C-alpha cells in the first residue's frame, strides 16, 4: 500500500481491508490495469467516503465497490467494454430518485445492460421511504449506497439521466442526456413515494425499449 495512505486515522484493520481489496481488484482486472492504477482508484474512492462518519465501519468495502465500478468505467472508456449499453442515473443526493431508477433498471434489464447511479452532493444513506417503496415491488435497494459521480463514469455512460441536479450535473459534449422532472421523495412517507416510484418505473421501461434492451419482469 502506498505510504501516502498510511496516514493518521487509518486503523490496522482498515489498512488490512484496503490491502485485501487491492488484491481482489488486481486479480479481477489483471491484464487490463496495473497495480498503480488500481491502488490509486481504490484509495481515491476511499477518500470520497472518508468524511462520512455514518459509514466509517464500512469505508474499505464502499471504497472497493466504488473503485470496481470506476475501473469498469475506465475500461469502457479505453475500449475494453463488452458492448452492453450503460445508463447513468444522477440526482442530488443519490438517495432516492436515482436509486429507485437504478433498482428498476437492474431488475428489468438483468445482464442485458449496465446501470449506475450517482449524486452531485451524495448523502450518507438511502432514503428509507424509497427503500420501503421499492420493497413493495419486490426490489431490494437496501444494499446500495449513495455515491458521487466521477469523470470516467460519466464518460463511459451511453445515456445520462438527470433528476433535479440542475447545473451541478456534469455535461459532456456529444453525450446523450435525458432530464426527468420528478418530485423529490426526501422527507416523504413510503405511501407518498409510490406515485414517484411508479412514474420512475414507467420511464425506465420506456428507456429500455428505446435502447432495444429485452425486459425481464421482476414480479
Residue 89 is a catalytic residue? no
**Cβ neighbours around 68 below 10 Å, total:** 19
Set 10, 59, 91, 163: catalytic member:
91
146, 117 Cβ separation under 8 angstroms: no
Question: Up-side HSE of residue 75: CA atoms within 13 Å toward CB?
Answer: 20
Residue 2 exposed, middle or buried by CB count within 10 Å (0-12, 13-18, 19+): exposed
Q: Which of 101, 107, 126, 165 is catalytic?
A: 165
165 in active site: yes
Does residue 169 carry a catalytic annotation? Answer: yes
One of 86, 106, 154, 169 is an active-site residue; which one? Answer: 169
Active site residue ranges: 91, 165, 169
Amino acid at each position: 500500500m502506498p505510504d501516502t495512505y498510511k496516514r493518521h486515522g487509518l486503523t490496522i484493520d482498515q489498512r488490512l481491508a484496503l490491502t485485501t481489496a487491492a488484491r481482489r481488484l488486481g486479480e479481477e482486472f489483471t491484464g487490463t490495469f496495473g497495480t498503480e492504477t488500481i491502488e490509486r482508484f481504490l484509495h481515491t474512492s476511499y477518500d470520497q467516503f472518508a468524511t462520512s462518519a455514518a459509514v466509517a465501519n464500512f469505508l474499505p468495502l464502499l471504497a472497493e465497490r466504488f473503485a470496481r465500478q470506476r475501473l469498469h468505467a475506465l475500461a469502457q472508456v479505453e475500449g475494453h467494454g463488452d458492448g452492453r449499453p450503460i445508463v447513468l442515473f444522477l440526482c442530488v443526493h443519490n438517495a432516492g430518485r436515482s436509486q429507485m431508477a437504478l433498482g428498476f433498471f437492474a431488475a428489468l434489464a438483468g445482464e442485458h445492460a449496465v446501470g449506475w447511479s450517482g449524486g452531485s452532493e451524495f448523502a450518507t444513506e438511502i432514503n428509507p421511504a424509497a427503500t420501503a417503496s421499492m420493497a413493495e415491488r419486490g426490489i431490494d435497494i437496501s444494499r446500495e449506497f449513495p455515491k458521487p459521480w466521477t469523470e470516467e463514469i460519466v464518460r463511459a455512460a451511453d445515456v445520462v439521466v438527470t433528476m433535479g441536479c440542475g447545473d451541478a450535473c456534469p455535461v459532456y459534449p456529444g453525450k446523450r442526456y435525458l432530464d426527468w422532472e420528478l418530485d423529490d421523495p426526501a422527507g416523504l412517507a413510503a405511501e407518498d413515494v409510490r406515485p414517484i416510484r411508479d412514474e420512475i418505473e414507467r420511464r425506465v421501461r420506456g428507456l429500455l425499449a428505446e435502447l432495444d434492451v429485452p425486459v425481464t419482469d421482476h414480479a
